[in-house]
Amino acid sequence: MLKLILADNQAIFRAGIAKVLAVEDEMRIVAQAQTQEQMFMALDKFRAAVLIVAGGFHSDFNAGSHGVVYRNVTSAALVDCVRKVARGETWVQDIAVPSELTENDMVGLRVRDRLTAKELRIVALIVQGYKNKEIASQLGTTEQVIKNYLRNVYDKIGVSDRLELALFTIHHRILNEAAAATAAASQPQPGPGAGVTS
């Protein structure tokens, strides 16, 4: 059994990775960490074979990574990376940028153009793991107003819950960048990559 630890300050990103890896019979997530302190405690306690950690989460630690994936990684590529790192191999996600927009980019553009600036800011906060009450506090409104905005966003994007919304946003690079840009003034953003180390 391959033991994994997930470390990222965005709960929704950890949940997405956990959902992808949960279907792999030979992989088991033994701990999740939201802070560096929690990450090191989990490493000490579980002696996991693989640590999946957000880029920028701990830059000195990431320098020793054996695998590198970015937040737009496909499920298959993430699983492949974890398996190779566990075998002691090095794996780096191909980051070749196509000269023209991909189909994902086009979908992201269409969705981005349907959302208002406030909706994009709410999406960015959802991706960062904020709850409705926290979002309402940040935006100076009520939790019910945030719920109304989210229903509109779900309808515009075609998702049914916040996990699907976050995964859709992370998967569609242009939408993710637009949402992050609207929130940049109020929240520092973590690095775009995630390191995988054994």
Strands, DSSP E only, in the chain? 2-7, 27-33, 50-54, 67-70, 91-92, 193-197
CA–CA distance, 25 with 45 (Å, rounded to integer):
22
- Amino acid identity, position 149: Y
Angle at 183 between CA 180 and CA 185, to 5 degrees: 125
Share of the chain above pLDDT 90, in %: 15
pLDDT, position 133:
96
Domain parsing of the chain, residue ranges:
2-96+193-197, 103-183
- Please check the confidence at residue 173 and state whether its pLDDT lies above 90: no
Which DSSP helix (H) or strand (E) runs through 144? helix 143-157
For domain 103-183, the CATH architecture is: Orthogonal Bundle (1.10)
For residue range 45-91, list pLDDT tens digits in order.
887 667 777 655 554 555 456 777 766 677 788 888 888 888 888 87
Angle at 25 between CA 33 and CA 21, to 5 degrees: 40
User: Mean pLDDT, the chain, as a whole number?
Assistant: 77
Least confident of 66-70, 86-90, 124-128, 168-172: 66-70
Q: What is the mean pLDDT of residues 155-172?
A: 86
Class assignment of domain 2-96+193-197? alpha beta
